[in-house]
Structure 1
Amino acid sequence: MVYSAAYSLACEQILVLLAGAVCLFGSWVGMRHFARARATKGTTRHGWLLMASIVTGAALWASTFVSILALDPLMASGFEPLAAGTVLVTAIIFCLLGFEIGSRHFTLAPETGGLVMGIGILAMHIIALQAWHIQGSLEWLPYGIALTAVPALGFSILAVNRANRPVTRWCRHGAAVSFACMICAVHYTLAATTSAVPDASVALPPNLLSANLLAVAVIGTVLLVIGNGFSTYVIDLRARTESADRIHQLSFSDAMTGLPNRIAFNERLAFDAAEAHENAHKLAAFSIDIDGFKDINDLYGHGAGDLLLIEAADRMRKQLRGREFLARQSGDEFLALTASGNHPHDAQAFAERIARAFAAPFIVQGHAFDLTVSIGFSVFPTDTPERDQLLSNAKLAMQRGKSTQHGSICAYSREMDDSARKRRALARDLDYATGRDELLLYYQLQTSLSDGRICGAEALMRWKHGKLGMISPGEFIPLAEETRAIMEMGEWALRAACRDAALGNIPGTVAVNLSPVQFGREDLAEMIQGILEETGLSPSRLEVEVTESTIMSDQSRGLHILRQLKAMGVTVAMDDFGTGYSSLATLHAFPFDKIKLDQTFVKRLPHDAAAAAIVRTVLALGESLNMPVLAEGIETEAQWDFLARAGCAKGQGYLFAKPVAVAQLPSVIEAAARFARDPAPASAIAPETVAA
C-alpha cells in the first residue's frame, strides 16, 4: 500500500511537471507570436493573433488534461470526446479574446485581456472535470472553485501584463513562466479541494477516451501544433534577420558605388580615432571632390554622371592599401581615412595616389572626360584633438584649395579655420543686419560731363556692424550672395533708394545695382513695380544696373525680365562694361539704355594709349547703338576732360563727390556745383596730345 501511494505520488509529480513543461514551451511560442502581432497592423496582425491563440490555447488544453490526470494517475478513468474538443475550442477562443483585448491601447487593456483568459482557463478546468469519468466518485469541497479561480485569474493577468508591459527583454519569458506556474498552481489547488474515492462497482460509460490514449493524443497533437508554431516563428525570425542584415548593409553602404557611406565612415572614424589616441598614432581624414562633375550632369544627363561616379569609385578603391578607408558621402564627394605614424607625409602620398587615379580620361557613353579631384586633408590630433572637427577641417582645406585651383591637394592650417570662423560669424550676423538697422545707403553723385551738372546718383550699400564697425562691401556683398541674404538686403536697398529719391533728396535718377541672386527672383519685376507704387517714385527716375554675367546664365529669362522693366519705364544699364564677357552680341540682344564703363580703364587715362583706344572704341560703340556711356572712377580733371572731349555723356568718381549718406547729400551737392561750366570744356585736351 505504501509502495502504491509512493508510486502514485511519483506519477503525479511527473505528470504535473509534464503539464508545466508543455504549458511553458507552448505559451513561450505563443508569446513570440503575440509579440509579432503587437508589432504589426491590419491582416498580418490578425494572422499573428490567431497563431498565438492556437498555440497558447493548445498548450493550455493539453496541460489542463494532463494536470487533471495527475489528480489520481493510477485510477481507471476516461474523458468524453465531445467535451475534450469543447475544451480545446474554449481555450483557443478565450486566448484569442484575451490577446485581442490585451493588445489594445486603453489603460488596463493587458490586465483586462489577462482576466478574460483566466476566466477561459477556469471554464476549461470545469468542463474538463465534468467530462472526466473515474471508476469511483469525485468529491468537491464547497470553496474549491473559488480557490481555483485565484491562481487561474491572477497568473493569467500577470502573464498578459508582462507580455504587454515589458520592462526588460526577459519580461515576455516571464509571461510563459506565469502560465506554467498557473497550471501547476491550479492543479495543486484542485488536488487540495477535491478527492477521488475509488469504487469498483462503478462502471465507466462507453465511448470514453481512455486516459492513456488521451494523454498520448494530447501530447502528440500539442507537440505538432507547437512545433508548427515554433517553425513559423523561426522562419519569420530568419526572414526578419535577413531583412535586417540587408537593411544594415544598405544603411552602411552606398547603393550605386558599393563603397561604405557616411554612416559607415562615421563609425570607422570613431574607431580609428580612439585607437590612434590609445596608441599615440596619427590619423588623417580626407575630403575628395570631383571637379566639374556638375557640368557633366547638366550636359550629358544623370545617367552619364552615375556611370562616371561608379568608375571613379572603382579607380579610387584600387588605390587603397593597408589601413586606408574610402567612403562616398553624396554626389561627387568622397571621404577617406588613413592611419599611420608618419603624417602628414603619408597623407600627402595618399592624396597624390588618389589624384593619379584620375590621370587617364574617363570614357562614358562614347564621350571622353578629363577630370581632376580637389583634395583636402587634416591630421588628428595634430590639427585638432576633436574627432568630429577632423572632417570639418578636411572639407575646409578642400574648399580652400578648390577656390584657388582645381585639382589641388591642400593640407589644413589653423589660419583657414580662423578665416572660416570669421566668415561664418559674419554670415550669421548678416542675416540679422536688416532687422537691426545696420544697413546703410550711401549715394555717389553722377554728373553730366558736358557741363558738370548733377544728373543723378548711384545707391551703394554699406554695413555698419554693431561691434566691428564698417565692413567693406567687397567682403560682405559676396557673402550675402552666397548665403542668399542679398535677397532681403537688395529689396531693402531698392525700397530705401526709391523712397529717398521720391522725397526729393536725390536730384535726377537714382541707380540701384541688382545682384545675380536677386535677378533669379521669379517676381522681380512685380517686386520693383510694388516698390515704385509704394514710394511714389516715377519709373523714369529709377535705373537698375546689371552685369552681363547676371543675365548670361538664363538668357531667355533675362531678356524677358529686362523687357518687363523697360515696359514699366525703368532704365536698364549694363554695369562694369569692359570686364567679364562684354560681348557685342549681348548689347545687341538685350534692351540696355546705358553702358557703364568700368573704372579699370578710366584710371589709366589720359596717358595710357591702350586704355585711351579702348575707351574711344566703347564710346563709339555706344554712339552707334544709341546707348549713352557713363564712366566710373573719374578722379582727375584730366580724365574728365578726355572723356568729355571723346563724347562720354556722364561720369562719376571722387573728383565730383565721394559716396555719402543721404543726410550729407545737400552739402555734397552744393560742393559739386563748382564743377558746373559751359558745355565746351575750356581745358579740353588736344586730340594729338590724347593719342600720344
Structure 2
Amino acid sequence: MSGCPSLRKAPPGSFGPIEPLSFERMFDALPVGAMTCSLDTFVIDYANPCSIELLQSIRQTLGFDPNEIVGTSIDVFHKDPLHQRTLLSDRARLPHKARICFGKEWLDLHIHPLPDSTGRISRALLVWAIATAEVAKEQEEYRLLRMIDDMPVAVMTVDPVTFNITYLNETSKQTLGEIKDLLPIKPSELLGASIDVFHRHPEHQRRLLSDPANLPHHARIKLGAEVLDLQVSAVTGTDGTYLGPMLTWSVITKQVAAEARIQQLAHYDTLTTLANRNTFREHLKASLSRPDPRLGLLFIDLDGFKFINDSNGHLVGDLLLTRVADRLRTRCAHPDIMVARLGGDEFAILITNAGITEATELAEALVLEIVAPYQIEAERRLEIGASIGVVAAPEHGSDSELLLSRADMALYAAKAAGKKTFRVFTPELETRLHERVRLELKLRQALGNKDSLFLFYQPIIDLATGRVTAREGLIRWHHHIRGWIPPGEFIGVAEDSGLIDELGIWVLNRACQDAASWDDDARVAVNVSAKQLGKGTLATNVLHALVSAGLEPSRLEIEITESALLADELDCLADLRRVRDLGVRVALDDFGTGFSSLAHVRSFPFDKIKIDGSFVQDAVRRADCAAIVGVVADLGRRLGVTTVAEGVETQAHLDLVKAEGCTEVQGYLLGRPVPSARDVPIIDELNRAAASRRVMAA
C-alpha cells in the first residue's frame, strides 16, 4: 500500500521534524475496525489489528480464519454480493452506512470513498464495529415504546427545558381525538407543541414539571365538560440525571360522575335527596365537638303515613314523602339547619348556634306546616300529621347518643299525647322510660311464672231476653309489690317489647279453658292487639286454644279495634278471614273512634259491632251522639249484624240504647268484670295480703 505524504515541519522551538506517518501505522492504532478494498476487484487489501480482533467474535459465522481476511473478497460480508458490488461500483452512492447481522452479532459498517493521489476513487475504506449491544438496546427501547403505545392509558413525555411534548403513545392520540373540540390545537399537531395547552396556569405547571423534586404528582384537570386524571413521574437516566417528566392520563368524566353518585348514595337519601342517617349523625357529632356547642335537635315521625302508604300504594307513599321533605327543606332553608331523612317516615332536623327556644318555635311551626293537605294528584288530596320530639344542647346533654336517645323519648311522648304535636324532653320522660323497662322485665317474669296473670269476665246481655250471650275476657295482672297493675299501663309495654304475642296466646288458652266450664254455653270474647295481626299466626293460635280446651269455635269471639286495621290492612283482614273460616265470630270493637269506620264494615263481614262507650255515655246529653248510636244500630239491623252498646253505666244509658235499637249491652250497670270461679280464692288471698301490707305500712 502507498504511504501518506509527509507531514509539515515542526514549528520553531520543537524537538525537530515529525517522522512521516504512514496510512497503515495510523489505522493500526485506531480502536475501531478498518479495512480497505479495491473497487475494481472487490478484494480486501488491508485490515487493521482491531478488525482482526473484532472478526474473531463472529468467526463461527464467517467460516474462515479472520487472520486470513486480507486477500479475501468483500462478498463475505453480504448475503447479496451483487447488491453490494453494485453499491460500491457507483461512486456517487458513497459514503454509505449499513447494519449487518452475523448470526447473533451485529456490525455497523461505514463505507467511504478513498481517492488516490490523482483524485481517482479506486479503493474504499470500510470502518466498522460490533453493534450487538447497541442493537439490543434499541430493540429493548422499541419493545418498551410498543408496550407504551399499546397501554390503555395515555402517555406523554415532555422536554423539561422547552416544555414541548416529545412523545405521545397511541392511546394519547385516540383519547385526544375524543376531546379534540376542547383543545386549542389539533391532536395531530400536539407532538412538538407546548404542554401549556392543558393548563389554565402554565407558569404553575412549568414550575412543577421542571423540578423532579415536585414529582410524582397527581391532579385532576377540568377541561370543558370533561375531567382528566393526570399523574406525573420523573424519568431519569442511569446516572440519575433528570431526563424529563412522563405524564400518564385518562379521561375519567364517567368515573367522576360514578364517584359522585356513590358519594351521593353514601351520604344522602335517594328518595328525598336529604342527608341520610349516617350523615346526620356525623354532622351532629362534629357540631358537638366544637367549643361550647349550642344546638337544637328535632325528631319527626309522620302520623298515619303507614295507612296512606298501604291504602294508596308505595308510589303515592313515596311521592308524599318527597312532598314532606320539600316542605321541611323550604321551611329550614338556612345554613345553620340540616334536614335529614332517617328512614321510612322518620325525619330529623339539627339547628346549630341555637337553643331550646328556637328549636321549640321550629317544632311548633312544622306541626302546622306538615299537617296542611297535600295535592298529590289532580283528584287525590292527602292529609298527614307529625309528632315531634325536641332536645337541645347543652340543656339536655352534650353527647350525641344521649341527645338522640332523649329526642326519641320526647317523640314517643308526643305520640302518646295524641300525635300531631311536639314535646320537649324532660327528666320525667327518662324516668318514665326506665319505669317501662322495669315494667317490661316484671311482665316477662309474670309470663314465665303465669301465677300472677288473671282473666276477669264482664257479661254482655241480650236486651230482648236479658240473657248473658257472651262474656268479655279482660286481663288483669297482680304484682307482689305494686299490687294490681292497670291493663292500660302494661298492654302498651307488651306491644312495644314484643311480649304481646306470648300474652295473647295465654289469654286465648285461658279464655277457652274457662268458657268450656261454663254451664250457660255463653260465648267468650277475647281482645286481639293490632300487633298480633298480619303475621299469619292468629288462626293457628286460635285453633290450638280451641282444640286444647275442647271448645266449639262458635263459642269464641275475637274482638279487634278499628285502629288495628290501619296497619297492614290487607294482611290483617287475611288473618281475620282465616279465623272466621274456623267458625269463630269476629267483632269490631270501639266502632266510630277510628278512621273510615264504614269502610272497615264494608271490607269485612263482621259478626258484631261494638259501639264505643264514649258515644253511649254522651248520648244522654248530646243529640249528635244519640243519633250516631241510632245510626249504627240501624246499620246493624240492615246488615244482619249484632250491635253492642258499651259503657252502659246508668239506667238512662240503658233506656237510650234500647230506644235506639241496639241488640246487646255491656257495662257496669249490668255487671262488673269478675274473675273465674277457680281464681276467686287466689284473688281474695292476694287482696287480703295487700290490705295487710297497707295496714302495716300505715
The two structures have a TM-score, normalised by structure 1, of 0.53
Q: Which residue of 1 aligns with 2:433?
A: 420
Task: Report the equivalent of 1:212.
Answer: 134
Partner of 1:263: 278
CA distance in 2, matches of 1:559, 1:215: 85
**Residues 90-105 of structure 1: matches in 2 within 5 Å?**
none
Q: Note closer, same or farther for the CA distance 1:659–1:76 as it changes in structure 2 (3 Å cut).
A: farther
- Aligned residue runs from structure 1 range 437-516, under 5 A: 437=450, 440-444=453-457, 446=459, 457-465=471-479, 468-503=482-517, 508-516=522-530
Native 8 Å contact 1:361 1:370 kept in 2: yes
401, 404, 408: which one aligns with 1:388: 401
Shift of 1:440: 1.9
Other structure's SS at 1:470 match: strand
1:191 is aligned to: none
Q: 1:415 to 1:506 in 2, by over 3 A?
A: farther
Supply the distance in 2 between the matched residues of 1:77 and 1:314 (Cα, whole angstroms).
Answer: 90
Tell me the SS of whatever aligns to 2:551. coil
1:289 touches 1:373 (CA, 8 Å); kept in 2? yes
Letter in 2 for 1:270: K
Distance 1:380 1:315 in 2: 25
Report if aligned partners of 1:637, 1:655 keep a CA contact under 8 Å in 2. no
**For 1:435, which of 427, 448, 457 is the aligned residue?**
448
Q: Which 5+ residue runs of structure 2 have no aligned equivalent?
A: 1-52, 59-103, 107-127, 155-230, 232-247, 685-698
Note if 1:347 corresponds to 2:347. no
8 Å Cα contact 2:306/2:567 also seen in 1? no
1:164-214 CA-partner distances (Å, limit 9, x unpaired): xxxxxxxxxxxxxxxxxxxxxxxxxxxxxxxxxxxxxxxxxx997522343
Cα 1:655–1:376, aligned 2, differ >3 Å: closer, same or farther?
closer
State the alpha-carbon separation in 1 of the partners of residues 329 and 317 from structure 2: 18
Contact 2:536 2:575 in 1 (8 A): no
Q: 1:258 to 1:605 in 2, by over 3 A?
A: closer
Whether 1:274 aligns to 2:289 is: yes
Q: 1:237 to 1:384 in 2, by over 3 A?
A: farther
Letter in 1 for 2:355: H
Whole-angstrom CA distance in 1 between matches of 2:442 and 2:55: 92
AA in 2 matched with 1:485 = L
Rounded Cα–Cα distance in structure 2 between residues aligned with 1:301 and 1:608: 39
Provide the C-alpha distance between the structure 2 equivalents of 1:639 and 1:516, rounded to a whole number of angstroms: 30
Confirm or deny: 8 A CA contact 2:563 2:595 kept in the other structure. Answer: yes
Question: Structure 1 pair 381/582, CA: closer, same or farther in 2 (3 Å)?
Answer: closer
SS in structure 2 opposite 1:663?
A: coil
> What is the rounded CA distance, in whole Å, between the counterparts of 2:592 and 2:383 in structure 1?
32
Q: Distance in 1 between matches of 2:588 and 2:665?
A: 14
Equivalent residues in 2 for 1:151-162, closer than 5 Å: none
CA displacement at 1:513 relative to structure 2: 2.4
Q: Does 1:536 align with 2:550?
A: yes
Q: CA distance change for structure 1 residues 333 and 230 in 2, over 3 Å: closer, same or farther?
A: same
Indicate which of 231, 240, 262 corresponds to 1:247.
Answer: 262
Q: SS of the counterpart of 1:434?
A: helix
Q: Quote the Cα distance in structure 2 between the aligned partners of 1:578 and 1:230.
A: 73
Q: Which residue pairs with 2:296 in the alignment?
A: 284
SS at match of 1:385: coil
Amino acid corresponding to residue 282 of structure 2 in structure 1: E
Opposite residue 140 of structure 2, the aligned amino acid is: V
Secondary structure at 1:376's aligned position in 2?
strand
In structure 2, C-alpha distance between the alignment counterparts of 1:378 and 1:268, rounded to whole Å:
16
For 1:259, give the aligned amino acid: L
Alignment check: 8 A CA contact 1:79 1:209 kept: no
Aligned to 2:350: 337
Check the 8 A contact 2:560/2:587 in 1, yes or no.
yes
Residues in 2 aligned to 1:595 and 1:361: alpha-carbon distance in whole angstroms = 32
Contact 2:303 2:385 in 1 (8 A): yes
Q: Does 1:545 align with 2:559?
A: yes
SS in 1 for 2:289: helix
Shift of 1:485: 3.4
Alpha-carbon deviations, 1:573-625, whole Å to 9, x = none? 55446765897897799665556565557778999999999888888887887
The 2-side partners of 1:352 and 1:630 are apart by 41
User: 1:415 & 1:516 partners in 2: Cα distance?
Assistant: 28
Which residue identity is paired with 1:471? I
Structure-2 change in CA distance of 1:422 and 1:623 (3 Å): same
Deviation, 1:453, is 7.5
Compared CA separation, residues 246 and 631, structure 1 to 2 (3 A):
closer
- Whether contact under 8 Å (2:310, 2:568) holds in the other structure is no
CA contact (8 A) 1:632 1:653 kept: no
Give the letter aligned to residue 134 of structure 2.
N
Q: CA deviation at 1:383?
A: 0.2
Paired residue secondary structure (1:281) = coil
Do 2:302 and 2:346's aligned partners in 1 also have CA atoms closer than 8 Å?
A: yes
State how far apart, in whole Å, the 2-side matches of 1:636 and 1:314 are: 53
For residues 380-420 of structure 1, the C-alpha deviation after alignment (integer angstroms, 9 at most, x for no partner) is: 22101322121232343344335546654543222223333
Q: Distance in 2 between matches of 1:571 and 1:460?
A: 18
Aligned length: 471
Q: Which residue does the alignment assign to 1:400?
A: 413
Shift of 1:445: 5.3
Larger mean CA deviation between 434-443 and 575-584 belongs to 575-584
Q: How does 1:510-529 map to 2 (within 5 A)?
A: 510-522=524-536, 524-529=538-543
Instruction: Tell me, yes or no, if the aligned pair for 1:443 and 1:662 is still in contact at 8 Å.
Output: no
Residues in 1 aligned to 2:472 and 2:674: alpha-carbon distance in whole angstroms: 9
Mapping of 1:524-673 within 5 angstroms? 524-547=538-561, 568-576=582-590, 599-600=613-614, 653=668, 656=671, 658-665=673-680
Find the aligned partners of 1:210 and 1:472 in 2 and give their Cα distance. Answer: 103
Shift of 1:267: 1.8
Q: What is the CA–CA distance in structure 1 between the aligned matches of 2:374 and 2:624, rounded to whole Å?
A: 44
Cα RMSD for the two superposed structures: 5.5
Provide the identity percentage. Answer: 34
AA paired with 1:534? Answer: S
Letter in 2 for 1:254: D
Question: Relative to 1, partners in 2 of residues 1:385 and 1:467: Cα closer, same or farther, differing over 3 Å?
Answer: farther
In the superposition, relative to structure 1, how do residues 544 and 256 fare at CA in structure 2: closer, same or farther (>3 Å)? closer
